[in-house]
Amino acid sequence: MQSYNDYRLHYTQMDFGFEDEFVNVFPRTGYLVATLFVGASVHCKFMNYSKQEFLQNRLYLTGLFSQSSLFMSMNGYWKCYFFMVHPVIGYHILKTPMTELVDRRVAVSDVLNVNNNILRKLEENELIDSLDSEYFDQFFQNTLPDKDVFLKDPIYYAINQIIKNDGKVCVEELAKQYCMSQRTLQRQFLLKVGLCPQAYARIWKIKHAMELIQGNPKMSLSEVAFKAGYYDVAHLSHDFKNRVALPPSQLNNAMNPLTKRYLNIKPLA
């Protein structure tokens, strides 16, 4: 964990060594994912919707996934740092519509309006091998918004309400709770999250089902479906097929340590 002003940044460091191509599955998460690759032989790319390779010493931000899981191809020897960012905090950092990041990964320095000179120095410094660097310290200190900016934003709290309830929310009630029309709520979600409230809530509903399966290997799928808010196992299986790309019965076997750590990182707060 690193501290910047009033923020706490929880991140995971992973060291990789793959001589042959390795394709890993990353289920959808309700947070933006920031990634930094370090190493001379980095070969990593999305298989879903962009086959451009990640470059070393460049900070990337992956938007929310609207379809299925993310499949990532890797090989080479390198180190990777990644951390999660609340969508509304990400919006107030980048000041760009989050719809432009859905199903995409972008280099932060390409979309950031200010302070990208510091980030450019980081990207050009081939000796950097950690988030604990003077460049990152300057970048975060100068770029992270004052917390009052998003603590006064009702969409920040609407998202937290969805997370708290594992996606089991009524959009109409959510709009009433934060004193806005459903139309305004939809428009604000598209701007600051990239997805409509219903689609965003479903991410957390599926994630809760995955947590139930992982934490309770002997629990029946019928009970998982009931606890996660699904009508029956058929609806649960349908969501897994279309949005996780794995059947629920195979989830535990498919969850390697890399994927588990990816799903369990605490967001920037």
What CATH number is given to the structural domain containing 156? 1.10.10.60
pLDDT at 40: 64
Mean pLDDT of all residues in the chain? 86
**Secondary structure (3-state) at 217:** coil
pLDDT at 171: 94
Q: Which is more confident, 196 or 112?
A: 196
Query: Position 173: which residue type?
Result: E
Q: Which is more confident, 14 or 235?
A: 235
Q: Which is more confident, 241 or 222?
A: 222
Q: Judge whether residue 53 has pLDDT over 60.
A: yes
Residue 233: domain span = 1-269
Report pTM: 0.91
User: How many domains does one find in the chain?
Assistant: 1
Indicate if the alpha-carbon torsion angle 112, 81, 63, 18 is positive or negative: positive
| DSSP conformation class of 250 | G
Q: Check if the beta carbon of residue 9 is closer than 8 Å to that of residue 144.
A: no
pLDDT at 114: 57
Which of 53-57, 126-130, 217-221 is the most confident on average?
A: 217-221
Instruction: Write out the two tokens for 72.
Output: 């990532």
| 256 — pLDDT class (breaks 50, 70, 90) | confident
The Cα 99–Cα 153 span in angstroms is: 18
pLDDT at 222: 93
Q: Check if the beta carbon of residue 174 is closer than 8 Å to that of residue 197.
A: yes
The Cα 178–Cα 212 span in angstroms is: 30
Q: Judge whether residue 266 has pLDDT over 70.
A: yes
What backbone phi and psi angles, to 5 degrees, belong to 258?
-60, -45
